[in-house]
A = this chain, B = another copy of it.
Amino acid sequence: MAVKDESLTTQAVIKAASMIPSFNPKNTPAEGGSEIYHEIIKLTKNPDPYRKIKEQHIQEALSILPELESMVQNSEDPLLMAIRIAIAGNVIDLGITEKVNVVENVKKILTQPFGIFHYDAFRSTLEKADHILYLGDNAGESVFDTILIKALKKKVIYAVREKPVINDVTRHEAVLSGIDQVAEIISSGTSAAGTILKFCNPSFLNIFKKAPMIISKGQGNYEGLSDERKPIFFLLKAKCGPIAQDIGVKQGDIILKSAL
């Protein structure tokens, strides 16, 4: 995706393969994967291979936004419907699979039972919180995030990656998604495909430490934060076997999980 030149793609494969033996096996995929990703960016001199696709996914998500918004308005439990929609957005993830029928997947997730459902804790934490730190995941999914942010009815700080990494949301895509209309956008300081605290900047870490409630979207953020004992709520679809196993659910399950 970064370059068409076949000799450069071969070099990129060789570079990626040669990095793997030196990785610490205890590191998360988000960490190792991101190191490889940034080497490919250097090698191919393409600073943002997924840019076009990210923007296309945002356009697609925006086109179904009115329909999703009316689903929330007509729901008996608008907050829960917004949570489901925010998780449904997580299927837009080119890091995992290239071809996804978004609308079909969204509708499926809207009726799918949760593998873990800490909704009571979510609501009571939300009620007490004066603001929420919201950790964005992918571009496109970010459009769905605006729906949940509105439904939270609290001040929201939305954290994005510092630099492009795969199809993750940076400030550029957050603004295209309309996040700036509903939340304050900050950078986590990291350009890993997940929130790996040792790579985050002090300003983000300060906000993270003090946040009375944190919403963490997707697998990449989960990988970095799964061991933190903080008021974090993980919203994700367990797309791959190892993540499902770590959480203790079936692959494909949708999750609303409290870290506490």
Interface residue ranges, A against B (CB under 8 Å): 10, 13-14, 17-21, 25
Contact = CB atoms under 8 A, between A and B. Distances in A.
Given A17-B20, A18-B18, 10 more contacts: A10-B25, A13-B20, A14-B20, A14-B21, A17-B17, A17-B18, A17-B19, A17-B21, A18-B20, A18-B21
A17 B23 CA distance: 11
8 contacts: A10-B25, A13-B20, A14-B20, A17-B17, A17-B19, A17-B20, A18-B18, A18-B21
Contacts of A17: 17-21
A147 B20 CA distance: 45
A100 to B, nearest CB: 16
Nearest to A99: B251
A20 B18 CA distance: 8
A247 to B, nearest CB: 18
Contacts of A21: 14, 17-18
Contacts of A20: 13-14, 17-18
A32 B185 CA distance: 46
A98 to B, nearest CB: 10
Contacts of A18: 17-18, 20-21
A19 B13 CA distance: 12
